[in-house]
């Protein structure tokens, strides 16, 4: 089975090979949709969309009206919005995963009945937490649509000719801030100081992810120079971030990480999204008054599931022999980082993006990686985190919710 989106498919030939590939993609997509549909029935809640209470609010309605003015402009927020609405891989199933973990774990006997949603087998507070998770991640994505209009040396000059870009920046800031503010208010209403602290550390981790490593002027991340990595890093085993094994509320350290492909990739994506899903799963069990050890199991399940998911998405551009001209490869994706270890000279091309990633020849990078070991190593990386997630999942008691989580994980796998 193979889970795949058709976002990168542009031309379909009439050959039997192309028809077979298309059939495989459609079958895998149907399998994915089926897994999500069955999971939503188990929790009795369709979490494929953000909470309608926020989408239909006056603030969001006004922002949507203003967004229409950006149609046809070059502002990156337009592409961000399209990916949120049409993207098959936007991870707006995170709320669903939180609810499935909640139901699979159950709750303590001393939880008052008025706090329980017996029809779905979860707590009312856990439903609210699921909505918060989706709002936080969506806000983070929207904020990434802010466009830096000037170099530091040109800051303060007249920007009257860039009115559309300025307007788009305002919408990106206000839209993301509104969702974050709503999420914070909802967390506060749960009246649980420990949960509040846990989610706040996830906020901190996401913010930290935007300030590690090299960046271009638009804050697009660039990989570390492989020639500068510490010599003894190759002697170290797979990097499992030690600080979250002891206390996952502490900040992560980047010491001896940057420049080592798997270590750098793991840290970047643990900070960017892994701890958000992991700590959300942990928070769900905290609300259910489950033991601390059980909460930690939920955290590591969510973290490794997020990393397995990210590795799967990193492989997407390399399923084609050529990429469309409008597609940019993530320069901190696992195939790129692994290939830099194999061929550090590729960094000469990536270094052209120090001013702007638009200066990079992505077609050249794509072809180089197709011929190297990076893709196979990324598949191994995905398998590793899938296995770690499944190991934590099997510590949960058997249930239909656990089975639904298994089906979601299996629907992500390659052949």
pLDDT of residue 61: 62
Q: Average pLDDT over the chain, rounded to whole? A: 80
Tens of pLDDT along 95-106?
A: 899 999 999 999
Q: What is the pLDDT of residue 147?
A: 78
User: What pLDDT score was predicted for residue 393?
Assistant: 96
Give the residue, 186 or 152, on which the prediction is more confident: 186
**Percent of the chain beyond pLDDT 90?**
42
Least confident of 23-37, 128-142, 252-266, 343-357: 23-37
Mean pLDDT of 84-105: 75
Mean pLDDT of 324-335: 89
What does the pLDDT read at residue 125?
93
For residues 133-162, one letter each, b for 16 or more C-beta atoms within 10 angstroms of the residue's C-beta and e for the rest, the string is bbbbbbbbbbbbbbbeeeeeeeeeeeeeee
Quote the pLDDT of residue 13. Answer: 38
Return the top range by mean pLDDT from 36-45, 47-56, 148-157, 180-189.
Answer: 180-189
- For residues 361 and 144, the model is more confident at 361
Domain edges within the chain? 16-151+161-410
Q: Please state which of the four CATH numbers 1.10.600.10, 1.10.3720.10, 3.30.565.10, 3.40.50.970 is assigned to the domain occupying 16-151+161-410.
A: 1.10.600.10
Closest by CA position to 257, among listed 238, 272, 275 = 238
pTM of the model: 0.84
Pick 5 or 124 by higher pLDDT. 124
- For tokens 């967004």, the residue is 67
Q: Decide if pLDDT at 25 tops 90.
A: no
Task: Give the percent of the chain with pLDDT over 70.
Answer: 74
Q: The tokens of 76 are what?
A: 């990156």
pLDDT at residue number 153: 56
- The residues near 7 (Cβ < 8 Å, ≥ 6 apart) are 87, 88, 89, 316
3-state secondary structure the chain: CCCCCCCCCCCCCCCHHHHHHHHHHHHHHHHHHHHHHHHHHHHCCCCCCCCHHHHCCHHHHHHHHHHHHHCCCCCHHHHHHHHHHHCCCCCCCHHHHHHHHHHHHCCCCCCCHHHEECCCCEEHHHHHHHHHHHHHHHHHHHHCCCCCCCCHHHCCCCCHHHHHHHHHHHHHHHHHHHHHHHHHHHHHHCCCHHHHHHHHHHHHHHHHHCCCCEECCCCCEECCCHHHCCHHHHHCCCCCCHHHHHCCCCCCCCCCCCCCHHHHHHHHHHHHHHHHHHHHHHHHHHHCCCCHHHHHHHHHHHHHHHHHHHHHHHCHHHHCCCCCCCCCCCCCCHHHHHHHHHCHHHHHHHHHHHCCHHHCCHHHHHHHHHCCCHHHHHHHHHHHHHHHHHHHHCCCCCCHHHHHHHHHHHCCCCC
Query: Can you give the pLDDT at residue 176?
Result: 85
Predicted pLDDT at 43: 84
With a cut of 80, say whether residue 231 has pLDDT above it: no
Is residue 115's pLDDT more than 50? yes
pLDDT of residue 71: 62
Q: How many CA atoms lie within 13 A of 293 on its CB side?
A: 2
Sign of the torsion formed by the C-alpha atoms of 24, 30, 36 and 38: negative
396 confidence band (pLDDT: 50, 70, 90): very high
Instruction: Write down the pLDDT at residue 160.
Output: 58
Mean of pLDDT values over 338-359: 91
Instruction: Please tell me the predicted confidence (pLDDT) of residue 123.
Output: 92
Q: Is the pLDDT of residue 394 over 60?
A: yes
Does position 232 have pLDDT exceeding 50, yes or no? no
Question: What CA–CA distance (Å, rounded) separates 304 from 81?
Answer: 27
| pLDDT greater than 80 at residue 323 | yes
Mean pLDDT of 362-371: 94
Which pLDDT value is given to residue 155? 56
Mean pLDDT of 159-184: 79
> How many residues are present in the chain?
415
pLDDT at 8 over 70: no
Residue 321 token pair: 């022999």
State the pairing for strand pair 221-222/214-215. antiparallel
């Amino acid at each position: 089975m193979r889970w795949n989106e058709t976002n990168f498919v542009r031309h379909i030939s009439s050959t039997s090979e192309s028809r077979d590939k298309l059939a495989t993609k459609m079958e895998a997509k149907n399998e994915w949709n089926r897994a999500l549909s069955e999971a939503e029935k188990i929790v009795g809640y369709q979490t494929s969309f953000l909470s309608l209470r926020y989408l239909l609010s006056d603030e969001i309605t006004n922002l949507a009206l203003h967004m229409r003015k950006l149609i046809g402009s070059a502002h990156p927020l337009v592409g961000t919005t399209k990916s949120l609405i049409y993207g098959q891989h936007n991870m707006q199933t995170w709320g669903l995963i939180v609810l499935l973990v909640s139901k699979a774990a159950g709750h303590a006997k001393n939880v008052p009945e008025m706090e329980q949603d017996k029809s779905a087998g979860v707590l009312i507070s856990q439903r609210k937490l699921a909505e918060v998770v989706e709002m936080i991640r969506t806000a983070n994505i929207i904020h990434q649509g802010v466009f830096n209009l000037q170099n530091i040396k040109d800051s303060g000059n007249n920007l009257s000719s860039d009115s559309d870009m300025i307007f788009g920046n305002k919408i990106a800031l206000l839209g993301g801030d509104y969702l974050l503010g709503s999420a914070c208010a909802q967390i506060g209403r749960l009246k649980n100081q420990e949960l509040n602290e846990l989610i706040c550390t996830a906020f901190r981790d996401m913010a930290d992810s935007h300030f590690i490593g090299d960046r271009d002027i638009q804050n697009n991340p660039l990989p570390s120079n492989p020639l500068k990595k510490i010599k003894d890093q190759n002697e170290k085993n797979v990097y499992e971030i030690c600080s979250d094994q002891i206390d996952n509320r502490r900040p992560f350290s980047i010491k001896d990480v940057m420049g080592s492909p798997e270590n750098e990739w793991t840290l970047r994506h643990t900070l960017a999204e892994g701890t958000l899903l992991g700590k959300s799963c942990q928070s769900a069990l905290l609300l259910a008054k489950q033991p601390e050890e059980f909460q930690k199991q939920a955290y590591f399940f969510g973290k490794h599931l997020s990393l397995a998911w990210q590795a799967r998405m990193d492989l997407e551009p390399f399923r084609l022999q050529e990429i469309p001209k409008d597609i940019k490869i993530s320069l901190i994706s696992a195939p790129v980082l692994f290939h830099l270890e194999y061929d550090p000279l590729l960094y000469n091309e990536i270094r052209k993006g120090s001013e702007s990633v638009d200066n990079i020849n992505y077609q050249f990078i794509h072809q180089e990686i197709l011929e190297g070991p990076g893709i196979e190593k990324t598949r191994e990386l995905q398998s590793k985190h899938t296995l770690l997630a499944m190991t934590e999942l099997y510590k949960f008691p058997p249930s239909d919710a656990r089975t639904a989580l298994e089906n979601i994980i299996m629907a992500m796998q390659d052949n």
